[in-house]
Structure 1
Amino acid sequence: MKQKLVIGTRGSKLALWQADHVAACLRRHYPSVAIELKNMVTTGDKILDVPLAKIGGKGLFTKELEVAMLSGEIDLAVHSLKDMPAELPDGLILAAVTERVDPGDALISPQYKTLDKLPAGARVGTSSLRRRAQLLHARPDLTIVDLRGNLDTRLKKLTTENLDAIMLATAGLKRLGWDKHITQILPQAICLPAVGQGALAIEARANDAETLSMLAFLNHEPTYRATLAERSFLAEVEGGCQIPIGVYAQIDTEDGQLKMTAVIMSPDGQKAVRDSIQGDPAQAVALGHTLAGRMLDHGGREILAKLFTQED
């Protein structure tokens, strides 16, 4: 067993909370092992004035940490699973996925409280194409404003940028004890979450058997299986921050089946393909592929083709 583990993390309040949480779990499990944190700045943290979809998407928040892992500078990295691309760099794997907390999307609107109470033309801030598309599908009259920055920065912009509401991940707000700001958690019938939303991912080197063995206890199998299906769906549709898709899977506690619902949308919210699937959790990857293929064949491919044509 290693006598020291170095955890790489971004420097935002949420990223540090997540890394500290994993570090505390490791210290309790291995009291004799030195657990160190190394703060790093990613490209996504540096570029705050451009929408994510225009600068490369999810990998912007993981690349520098992954380079440090591959070079041996750090042993593992802690991420929000929703920030991770579907395909990881050669030599790296998901060592563990922690138990999911609330996967929902939170609306914060001190004046209007809920989506249906927002007036026509209300200004809603979000950095996510997925949220933008689903909000416009439900409320095409809204004005969506791009909103970048860490959670505390985005909360401040609610006032400084004269916004009527903002959308944030419920899990991050709860982890930081800021859930008092939430005025509504949108139902999944309106807004499906991002792949892996609400779960933490621990990434490590594929050939580092000792570290992988030490991290195994952190893995929550039901969450791992559910998010494996979601990431399989993501890989099949080749989605990321730049493609408006929502997906959520969970294992039913009564019948043990993995049940997953997904949506592929046009950025303006006018076109949507939504479908569901269920099956054996052991077939998580196949379920994700099957659902994605079915949705692509029933209009999803057309939506994505038009989106890619617009980007080109």
Structure 2
Amino acid sequence: MRTIQVGSRKSKLALVQSEQVIHDLSDKSDRFAFAIRHIVTKGDRILNVTLSKVGGKGLFVKEIERALLDGAIDFAVHSMKDMPAELPGGLEIASIPMREDACDVLLTRSGDGLDSLEPGAIVGTSSLRRGAQLLSLRPDLNVQPLRGNVDTRIGRLKSGDFDAIILAAAGMKRLGVHEKNHPLAFDEMLPAVGQGALAIECRSSDAELKALLQTINDPDTEITVRAERALLKRLNGSCQVPIAALCKRRADTKLELTGLVASVDGKEVFKTRRIGENPEELGVEAAEELLHQGAGTVLKRLGSDPNAR
């Protein structure tokens, strides 16, 4: 019996996600055993600085990818929204299980929704994407950085540090957190590329493992995420710039991709919706439309030149 080493960050959410994947794989075959190896990433070590100021791409995956390339682990379960558009040579995303809820949710101290927040209310989020879209909706709010795990963020809300915070619905559901929240509609808050989906990454050369991982791949999730990531790649973006995208399969089986780029202050918002069949072509077309609208200027200001190769 082969024992497969699974690399995981030490956060509660990362471990829950890894354990769920192991459970699902165990149901598919009894020829493998699994062991989790904890890996601390740069994004985990630096908690007192906003992610956008830490710099670089793959803040939560680089050390894990190094362990994959070194053979210390066999696969890793990532949150897809943490994955850079470009992967190191020799690695691939071998499986994308069924997507969880992709929306963002608002939690407030009062328990009421966005309209209840007074002008100047302090809203916590570590995401430039969330902050930009929130300020586009409510420029009178005071968006402040907030990092840490889900429990930490909710604790700071309850202690009065913030009037409201924004979290991903998927993380709350996977952790079984049942705090009162208000889902933000996609036309108000478009999610991060791949939000709610998992990326299972392994070595391209490991044919046996790739065959196993494919047993829990969800084709619809895979094809829609591919479209979102094609947009991200064309924009030369990362999870640290205000880029958002969501792709859905329509009733006629075609793909519908909505993409967005915004300035950090929310004063400039570029948005497009495209329909197509090929996910990579659709993603590139949507990205080109955003650039035609002027989104490249915003991205360059943030050090993400869409024309850099």
User: Structure 1 length normalisation: TM-score?
Assistant: 0.94
Counterpart for residue 307 of structure 2: none
Cα shift at 1:159: 2.7
Partner of 1:89: 88
Deviation at 1:276, TM superposition (A): 0.4
Are 1:259 and 1:279, in contact at CA under 8 Å, matched by a contact in 2?
yes
1:196 equivalent among 194, 197, 200: 194
Q: Which residue of 2 aligns with 1:12?
A: 11
The 5-angstrom pairing of residues 1-312 of structure 1 reads: 3-56=2-55, 58-160=57-159, 162-178=161-177, 180-252=178-250, 254-280=251-277, 283-308=278-303
What SS class does the counterpart of residue 155 from structure 1 fall into? helix
The answer to whether the Cα contact below 8 Å between 1:26 and 1:35 also exists between their aligned partners in 2 is no
Distance in 2 (CA, whole Å) between partners of 1:20 and 1:200 is 12
Contact 1:57 1:241 in 2 (8 A): no
Tell me, yes or no, if the aligned pair for 2:7 and 2:73 is still in contact at 8 Å.
yes
- Partners of 1:42 and 1:110 in 2: how far apart? 32
What value does the CA root-mean-square deviation take over the aligned residues? 1.3
The letter for the 1-side match of 2:185 is P
Give how far 1:123 is off: 0.3
List runs of 5+ in structure 1 lacking aligned partners. none
Structure 2 CA distance for aligned equivalents of residues 308 and 161 of structure 1: 34
Specify the SS of the correspondent of 1:60.
Answer: coil
- Give the aligned length: 304
Is contact 1:126–1:146 with CA below 8 Å preserved after alignment?
yes
What code does the residue aligned with 1:225 have?
I
How far apart in 2 are the matches of 1:80 and 1:221?
A: 17
Distance 1:150 1:81 in 2: 17
CA distance in 1 between partners of 2:244 and 2:125 (Å) = 15
Aligned 8 A contact 1:110 1:183 in 2: no
| TM-score, structure 2 normalization | 0.95
Query: What secondary structure, in the 3-state scheme, does the structure 1 residue paired with 2:59 have?
Result: helix
Q: 1:182 to 1:286 in 2, by over 3 A?
A: farther
Q: Deviations over 1:186-242 (max 9, x none)?
A: 001110000000011100001111111111111111100000000000011111133
Summarize the Cα distance change of 1:308–1:36 in structure 2 as closer, same or farther, 3 Å threshold: closer
Residue identity matched to 2:281: A
TM-aligned CA distance change 1:68 to 1:145, over 3 Å: same
Q: Is the 8 A contact 1:104 1:186 kept in 2?
A: yes
Percentage identity across paired residues of the two chains: 45
Distance in 1 (alpha carbons) for counterparts of 2:4 and 2:180: 36
1:57 Cα deviation from its structure 2 partner: 5.2
3-state secondary structure, aligned to 2:211: helix
The aligned amino acid for 2:195 is Q
The runs of at least 4 consecutive aligned structure 1 residues that moved more than 3 Å come to 306-309
**Amino acid in the other structure paired with 2:34:** I
Residue 37 of structure 1: how far off its partner (Å)? 1.0
On the 8 A contact 2:81/2:239 being kept in 1, the answer is no
Distance 1:182 1:88 in 2: 37
Tell me the secondary structure at the aligned position of residue 61 of structure 1.
Answer: coil
Report if aligned partners of 1:231, 1:288 keep a CA contact under 8 Å in 2: yes
Structure 2 distance, partners of 1:161, 1:232, is 40
What amino acid does structure 2 have at the position aligned with 1:89? P
Higher helix share: 1
Classify 1:90/1:21 alpha carbon distance in 2 versus 1 (closer, same or farther; 3 Å).
same
8 Å contact 1:249–1:261 — kept in the other structure?
yes
